[in-house]
Amino acid sequence: MLEQLNTRVEECYQQAESFFKRPFKRPVVSLKLRGQKAGVAHLHENLLRFNPQLYQENAEDFLKQTVAHEVAHLIAHQLFGDRIQAHGEEWQLIMRGVYELPPNRCHTYEIQRRTATRYIYRCPCDGSDFPFTAQRHRLVRQGRRYLCRSCRNTLVFSGETRVE
């Protein structure tokens, strides 16, 4: 998986070097990205991080579009410096001119949302459920108090949880 990714990154760099007639410093490539983002370019570290799950589920488009998208960020930074917008003219020039790809800001890959447990808190108000995150529930157990905005009474854990 990482081998194909590195091969595509190298292809993108060779295309950019041929187009701009100059060499570019190669980045470190990592598959240590989770969540909703398909890829991230760390400009000052010259590092590319990619989401292995989204790569695996969308391999063809990911290699074509996402890798070029992130490489274009590093190329734009090396060419034009810090004072450019992330998806501005310079980046778009590279996407269109060098890679002949649409300069899409975001991917359209299906994302599996994590399930989250919510802890239901209540107050004397009518019909008032307050779903707390695990972090907020933990803070309550450590002594923090939360008040109802309507009646100003302390919210109390009902003993119920809900999975979202």
- Active-site residue set: 70
SS (H, E, C) the chain: CHHHHHHHHHHHHHHHHHHHCCCCCCCEEECCCCCCCCEEEECCCCEEEECHHHHHHCHHHHHHHHHHHHHHHHHHHHHHCCCCCCCCHHHHHHHHHHCCCCCCCCCCCCCCCCCCEEEEEECCCCCCEEEECHHHHHHHHCCCCCECCCCCCECEEEEEEEEC
